[in-house]
Structure 1
Amino acid sequence: MRLTTEPHFLNIPFSGRRSGDFPLTWGQRWIWNLVAARAPHYADLGDSYTVAIPDICNMNDVSEALSALLSRYETFRSSFCLSTDGKPRQLILAEGHLRAEVRDVAADDAEAAAGTLEAEFNSVPFTLPELSLRAAVVTSEGVPRFVVICSFHMAMDCHGMVSVLDDFTSLLAGDPVGAEASDPGRVTHPADRAREEAEADSARRSARGIQFWERELAKFPDDPLPYSGHRPESPRYQTFALRSAAVRVAALHLAAELGVTTASAVHAMAATLVAQRTGSRTCGFVMAASHRFDPDAVSYPGTLVQGVPVAVDVAGGTPRQLITRTHRAGMLAALAGYCDPDDLADVLRESYGPEKTRARLACVVNLHLPDPAGTAGAPTAGTVVTRERAERLLAESRYEYVEGTPVENERFYLAAQGNSADFSITLRADTAALAPSEIAGFLRDLERALIACLPEAGPAA
C-alpha cells in the first residue's frame, strides 16, 4: 500500500531514572561489528512491530503508553557514538522527546497502512546519534488503530521485544500488573549488564566461550564455501527468497517428531547441501543464537544475539539422524559459545590471520522459526505428515529476487522467518561463490530435501 495522506507528528515526552555515558555489552559489541561490516548498508538491523490499539484508547492514552515505554526501558532512550579513543559507547538520555509520525487513513486501510510503515521503518538505517526507538500511529477519522514501533538491533533483539511488547500492550490496556512488571528496579538494563560483564566471573565465562570457538572452528573446513572460479555478477551480492507452505509443514512435523527445534531441521538440510558442494563431510556455519537460557536472560530488555560456530558432520546415518545431530551441535554451541567479541577477534587473528578467519566465518545461518508447541496449524502428537501431502503444497511455493544488503565478509547468509501460512527463507550469497541461478536453486533443493525427510505414507489403517 502506498500512503498518500500527509503525516503529522506527536512529540512524546519521556524521562528516566538514569542517564550518562556507558560501555557496550558483549551483545551490543557483536551488533556493532555487524554495523561496521555492513555500513552503509545496514537497514536490516532494525526490527519493526505492529500493535493493535484497544478500542478504549484515545491519542492521549497512546502517547502516555509510548512515554512510559521510553521511560521504563532506558535502552530505547539510548544512542551510540565513538569515544575519543575510538571505542563505541552508549549514551542514555535522562529526558527528551520522541517524534512519532501519525497517519490517518480509511478504516479498511488501517492494517495495510501499518504494514507499509513497518516496511518504511525497516528500509531506513538507524543513525548512531538517533534514539533507538521509532514510532508511528495509524488512525482512522482521528481514532488510533495501530502503533508501529521499530527498535535498533544495537538496543534490542527480537527475543527481548517479546516481553517489551507484552508490557506495551498492558500499558495500552491500563493494566497495572503489566506496568509493575517492567519497573526499572526489577530488570537488568544494558548499562548494568556491561558492568557485570567487566567482572572476573564474566571474564572466565568469556574465556571458556573462546576456547569453545577454537575447538569448534578446528572442525570447520578451511574454506566452507570456496569461490567457484567464475567472474562475479553485478551486483556481486544477490538475494533470493522462497515462501513455502511445504517447508513450514515439513519442518514443523520433523521438529515435533524428533523433539528438536524447527530451525534444526532447516539447518541440517542446508549443511548437507553446502557440504555436497565442497565434497567435505563437515559443514561449518556461524549460527545466530539468542543466548536466553535462564530467567534473567529470558526477560532481559536488550540484545543478546551473537553468532556461534556449529560444525556439522553430514556423513553417515539417515537425514533424520542428521537433524538430531545438528540440533545437539547447535544447542551446545548456543550454551557454550557466548563471549566477549573483542577478545574473540584477537584470538582468531592470532590463530588464523584475517584472511583465513574471514573464510571460516563466511557462512551464516539466522533461522528465527516457530517451534511446534503453541504454533497454529502445527502437527499434534501422533499426526503423520506424508511426503505426498507436502509435495501437494509445492504449487504454492514462490521464488523471487529481492534487493539484498551486501556484506563483504559473508559469502552465504541463510535467514528464515515463519508465520501461520508459510515460511520465508532468504539466501544472500556472493556470486563469486554461487551464481544467481545456484542461489535460487539452493532454496529449491532445500525445500525438496526437507520434504524427502518425511515418510512416504502414513500408518496403515
Structure 2
Amino acid sequence: MSLQPAESRIPIPFAGTVSGEGPLTWGEKALLQDQRETGWALNASGAQNLAPGTTVESLAARLGALISQQPALRVRLVTDPQGVIRQRVADSGEAALEVLDFADSDDPVEVAQYTERLWQEWLIAPIDHYRDWPVRMGVVRHRGVARYQVLSFNHLVIDATSMTYLMPELGVGDPPAGAGSTTPMNILELAEYEHTEAAQRVSRRAMRFWESQLRDIPPRTFGEPVHPEGRLGSRYWHGRFASPAAYQAVLAIAQRSGGDVSRVMFGVLATALGRAMGHDRLRAKVILSNRYRPGFSEIIAPLAQNAIVSVDLTNATVDEVMARGRQALLASGMHAYYDPDHLNELIARLDAERGYPAEVTLRMNDRRRATQRWAAEEARATRVTPADIEARLGETFFSWDGTLDSCHDQAFVTIEDYRSTFHLQLIFDMACFTEKQVEDFVYGVEQVAIEAAFNPDAPAGCG
C-alpha cells in the first residue's frame, strides 16, 4: 500500500453481565476443525461508508456497548489441565478501536482503495483465539472526517445470521423483523444444551444419516492426482466467474418452475459439474444453517455446519436434477446439527471397515445473504425474456486470480454475494483437473441455465 496513514488505538473498556467457562459448542468445534484442515482464518470482514457526522468517539461507544452486550464477543479459548479446549467468557476487559488518519493531501479515491484492500487483509489475517477478542474494528479518517469503518469478526463465535443481528448495533443496516422479541440462549448456554441427552440424540440420529451417505464413497471425490505439474507449476489455483446472463436464466427457471433461486442455482451447479467432470452422482459438503430449530433464530454463535449432500444426475432433465437437489438439501439440512466429535468417530470406523480412508473433497457454499432476498423479489416481480438473457451474454467473465499453498479439498465452489449476477469464487486442485475441465464447468454453468431457462425438458446430460 503506497499511502501511509498515521495509526493510533483508542482503548475501549467493556463489561458484561454474563461470564464463565464452559465447553465448546458444536459450531465452534466445527470451525476449529475447518481452520486446521484449510489453514484459513475464515474471518467475517468488510468495510462500510460512514454516515455524515459520525465521529470516532461514537464508533468507540458503539463497539464497547456491543461487546458488553454480547457474551460471544468476549470469548477467548483456554486449555484445561487435561488438554481439552474450552471457552471462557470474560466479565470485563479492554478492546481497541484502530484509527487510521490520512493526510489531507491524500487522494480520496486512493483512501477508498486503501480501505478496500485493508478489509480484505483483515479477512485472511489470523486471529489468536487464546489472546485476541473476537471482534476487530478500525475507522478511516480523512481530512478530519470519519469516512469508513472496517470490521472483522472471528468466525469461531459467529455465523452469517449472527452478523445480521450484530451489524445494526454498529450502524449498518436494519435489524431483522422481530429481532429482540425473545431472549435467546447465549453461547455458554448453547454449549450446555448440546451436552444434554436430548441434543446428543439429535447428533446420533444425524450420524445414521451421514453413515448412509459416506459408507460407499471413493477415497477422494475426483480421484487421485493425475497432473502432478498442476497449472503453470502450481497445484492450487483460485479464480472468479461471473455471468449476468446465467443469473437472468436462473430467474427465468425460478419463475417457470416456482422454485427457490438458491435451489435453482444448486441444481445448475450440480448439472454443470456432472457434465464437465463426467460424474453421474454429485457428493458435496455444503454449509447449511441450523437456525430453523426452535429457539435458535437469534443466538449469537456459529450455528451453520457442514452437511453432506448426494444427488443422482443420471437420466434426468435439469428440472429433475433441481428437484432431486432440493430433496437432498432438505434431508441434509435435517441432519446438519451434530457433534463433530461424533462425526470424526464415525469416519474413523467407516475407514477401518472399508479398508481405506475416504472423504468427500468437493465443498460448495452459498454465501449470499444481502442478495438472497433481492433475488427472490426479482424472481417474483419481473418476467425474464430470452432477449433479457441475450443482452447480458457479453458481460460473462472468468479469470484465474492466483495460487494457494495448499487446499484440503479438490474443488471449492462458492456463490458470492453480488447483485444481478451468478458470481462464483473457485478453488481447484489442478493436479486433479485439466484447465479445459474447469472452463467447461464454469462456462457450463451459463450454458445449463440458459438451456433450462424456458425448457422444462432440457436434459442434464451428466455422467
TM-score in same-fold range (> 0.5): yes
Encode CA deviations 1:174-202: one digit per residue, 9 max, x unaligned. Answer: xxx99x9669x923222110000000000
Encode CA deviations 1:298-329: one digit per residue, 9 max, x unaligned. Answer: 21111112111111011233212211221221
- Listed as ranges, the matches of 1:1-150 within 5 Å are 3-39=3-39, 42-43=40-41, 45-105=42-102, 108-109=108-109, 111-128=112-129, 129-150=131-152
- Distance in 2 (CA, whole Å) between partners of 1:93 and 1:104 is 31
Q: CA deviation at 1:406?
A: 5.0
- Distance in 2 (CA, whole Å) between partners of 1:203 and 1:368 is 29
Structure 1 length as normaliser, TM-score? 0.86
Say if 2:60 and 2:97, in contact at 8 Å, map to a contact too: no
Q: What is the count of residue pairs matched by the alignment?
A: 447
Encode CA deviations 1:7-63: one digit per residue, 9 max, x unaligned. Answer: 222222211123333211001111110111123xx13x0011334433343222211
- Distance in 1 (CA, whole Å) between partners of 2:357 and 2:158 is 26
Say if 1:221 and 1:283, in contact at 8 Å, map to a contact too: no
Say if 2:236 and 2:403, in contact at 8 Å, map to a contact too: yes
Structure 2 length as normaliser, TM-score? 0.86
- Listed as ranges, the matches of 1:116-265 within 5 Å are 116-128=117-129, 129-169=131-171, 186-218=183-215, 220=217, 223-227=220-224, 229-233=226-230, 234-265=233-264
Quickly say closer, same or farther: Cα 1:240–1:113, change in 2 above 3 A: closer
Q: Identity percentage over the alignment?
A: 21
Task: In structure 2, give the amino acid aligned to 1:451.
Answer: I
Encode CA deviations 1:230-276: one digit per residue, 9 max, x unaligned. Answer: 32423322112112222332233333443434332232233234434
- Distance in 2 (CA, whole Å) between partners of 1:355 and 1:219 is 8
RMSD: 3.2
- Distance in 1 (CA, whole Å) between partners of 2:35 and 2:225 is 28
User: Could you tell me which residue of structure 2 aligns to residue 424 of structure 1?
Assistant: 423
SS of 1:452 mapped into structure 2: helix
Task: In structure 2, give the amino acid aligned to 1:146.
Answer: Y
User: Could you tell me which residue of structure 1 aligns to residue 378 of structure 2?
Assistant: 378
User: Could you tell me which residue of structure 1 aligns to residue 349 of structure 2?
Assistant: 350
User: Could you tell me which residue of structure 2 aligns to residue 310 of structure 1?
Assistant: 309
- Distance in 1 (CA, whole Å) between partners of 2:353 and 2:95 is 41
- Distance in 1 (CA, whole Å) between partners of 2:236 and 2:415 is 18
Say if 1:222 and 1:356, in contact at 8 Å, map to a contact too: no
Say if 1:197 and 1:203, in contact at 8 Å, map to a contact too: yes
Say if 2:261 and 2:375, in contact at 8 Å, map to a contact too: no
Gaps spanning 5+ residues in structure 2: where? 457-463
Encode CA deviations 1:59-118: one digit per residue, 9 max, x unaligned. Answer: 222111010111111211212244443332223222222222212346944654442321
Quickly say closer, same or farther: Cα 1:382–1:13, change in 2 above 3 A: closer
Q: CA deviation at 1:384?
A: 2.9
User: Could you tell me which residue of structure 1 aligns to residue 413 of structure 2?
Assistant: 414
Quickly say closer, same or farther: Cα 1:358–1:76, change in 2 above 3 A: farther
User: Could you tell me which residue of structure 2 aligns to residue 439 of structure 1?
Assistant: 438
SS of 1:379 mapped into structure 2: helix
User: Could you tell me which residue of structure 2 aligns to residue 366 of structure 1?
Assistant: 365
